[in-house]
Amino acid sequence: MHLIQKIYSQKRMTTDTENTPSFTKFIDLASERLGGKALSCSDDFFAPMENLLKPGRGIFIVDKYTEYGKWMDGWESRRKRVPGHDWCIIKLGASGRIRGLDIDTNHFLGNHPPFASVEAIYAEKDTDLENSTAWVEILPKSPLNPGSQHFFDIQNENVYSHLRLHIYPDGGVARLKVYGEVFKNWDLVQKDELVDLASAANGAKSVLCNDMFFSHMDNLIMPGRGVNMGDGWETKRNRTPNNRDWVIVKLARKGRVQKIRVDTAYFKGNYPDTCSIEGAVLDANTDPGDNSIEWKSLLPQSKLQADFEHDFESTVNAIGAITHVRLFIYPDGGISRLRLWGLID
């Protein structure tokens, strides 16, 4: 039985947290940047299914057309002239527990589907998913509006690896975001095995920062290197003497950090001059911004350079097992990726 607590609809992009459900603070498990993939669909004649998992809400270019018709930044099937409906199967970038969905029909106005539903499954392989009988409905058939974000609160504690989005009967969806908590089987990780404790794919999360004017703090912990200057964490220019900007990352698992990488890929005229990192042990009820937290120096203030992977090992302090880190950049600027390899506690 499925309990859907809230359904929201928004006709424009907003940063007003009062109008955004709390589950959007979780990571988007389906994100292309995290490794999410659109595997198959019934039809994507007008616009490819891969667009569903791209960042943002999608754009609209008035005079842009393809040989098939109007170019649309989303997944769009042709007008169905036979019984049935369209669907798309998506592999999550990381398996996890789903807390909420955003089915966004941004810019699909006369061509959005009137209804959608979502099924989920946990599968080790991507093969023969279309015919599997193990799919579980996590969102029943629900109405959609044109040009809107539709947020659905999902109450389900099972771990899933794939989703199937159904649209009725056809039409276009700009983006599908699947907010949730990454599941990693830590029993399979050896005690002497170095693992990236700051990787979103392992369950790490950027939880707080003082500034992310140009790009989001979540970019710091995504897999791979950044693809451009927008794919990192960048603060605005700060003219305050002795300023330092900061971001706090909750590690995927409590552990002892052994090696650090600070990557300034694509940041050339706007990389920080130096950085430092602190670590602490916080319980689930502690506010990471609490000034009473005892932070310990993990990496002393260190020089950085443009567009470069900085590896630190000999200068990493042995401060024991920690759950959170706080990265400082001096005085401001952009960092593409942060990697913290360590041993789990």
Q: What is the pLDDT of residues 101-148, one digit of tens each?
A: 999 999 999 999 999 999 999 999 999 999 999 999 999 999 999 999
Q: What is the mean pLDDT of residues 78-82?
A: 96
The domain boundary, picked from 182, 205, 237, lies at 182
Q: How far apart are the first and last CA of the chain?
A: 38
CA distance 264 to 266: 6
The CATH number of residue 56's host domain is 2.60.120.260
CA distance 205 to 249: 6
pLDDT bracket for residue 9 (50, 70, 90) = very low
Q: What is the mean pLDDT of residues 89-103?
A: 98
**Residue 118 and residue 239 share a domain:** no
pLDDT bracket for residue 10 (50, 70, 90) = very low
Checking if the pLDDT of 327 tops 80, the result is yes
**Residue 205 and residue 105 share a domain:** no
pLDDT bracket for residue 340 (50, 70, 90) = very high
| CA nearest neighbour of 313 among 279, 262, 278 | 262
**Residue 224 and residue 166 share a domain:** no
Checking if the pLDDT of 4 tops 50, the result is no
Work out the percent of the chain whose per-residue pLDDT is above 70.
95
Checking if the pLDDT of 14 tops 60, the result is no
- 327 lies in which domain range? 189-344
**Contact at 8 Å (CB) between 334 and 215?**
yes
**Contact at 8 Å (CB) between 263 and 337?**
yes
Q: Can you tell me which residue has the tokens 């983006």? A: 175
3-class DSSP assignment, residue 32: helix
**Contact at 8 Å (CB) between 335 and 272?**
yes
The domain boundary, picked from 154, 182, 210, lies at 182
pLDDT bracket for residue 19 (50, 70, 90) = confident
Report which of residues 2 and 153 the model is more confident about.
153
- H or E segment and range at residue 102: strand 86-104
Checking if the pLDDT of 197 tops 50, the result is yes
What long-range pairs does 126-129 form, CB within 8 A, spacing at least 24? 126/39, 126/91, 126/162, 129/39, 129/40, 129/89, 129/162, 129/164
**Residue 24 and residue 93 share a domain:** yes
- In this prediction the pTM is 0.90
**Residue 215 and residue 271 share a domain:** yes
pLDDT bracket for residue 26 (50, 70, 90) = very high
**Residue 237: per-residue pLDDT:** 98
Alpha helices in the chain (DSSP H): none
CA distance 164 to 161: 11
Q: What is the mean pLDDT of residues 76-89?
A: 97
3-state secondary structure 223-261: CCCCCCCCCCEECCCCCCCCCCEEEEEEEEEEEEEEEEE
**Residue 272 and residue 303 share a domain:** yes
**Residue 206 and residue 135 share a domain:** no
HSE-up (13 A, CA, CB side) for residue 91: 16
CA distance 338 to 30: 21
Q: What is the pLDDT of residues 253-302, one digit of tens each?
A: 999 999 999 999 999 999 999 999 999 999 999 999 999 999 999 999 99
Structure tokens at 54: 């791209």
Q: What is the pLDDT of residues 201-254, one digit of tens each?
A: 999 999 999 999 999 999 999 999 999 999 999 999 999 999 999 999 999 999
**Residue 124 and residue 24 share a domain:** yes
Indicate the burial class of 187 (C-beta count within 10 angstroms; 0-12, 13-18, 19 or more).
exposed
Mean pLDDT estimate for the chain: 94
Checking if the pLDDT of 18 tops 70, the result is no
> Phi, psi (5° rounding) for residue 286?
-85, 130
**Residue 170 and residue 27 share a domain:** yes
The domain boundary, picked from 135, 154, 182, lies at 182
**Residue 318 and residue 290 share a domain:** yes
CA distance 15 to 29: 21
pLDDT bracket for residue 8 (50, 70, 90) = very low
> Phi, psi (5° rounding) for residue 127?
-85, 150
The count of structural domains within the chain is: 2
**Residue 338 and residue 242 share a domain:** yes
Checking if the pLDDT of 3 tops 60, the result is no
CA distance 81 to 92: 31
Q: What is the mean pLDDT of residues 159-163?
A: 98
**Residue 318: per-residue pLDDT:** 98
**Contact at 8 Å (CB) between 245 and 210?**
yes
**Residue 304 and residue 159 share a domain:** no
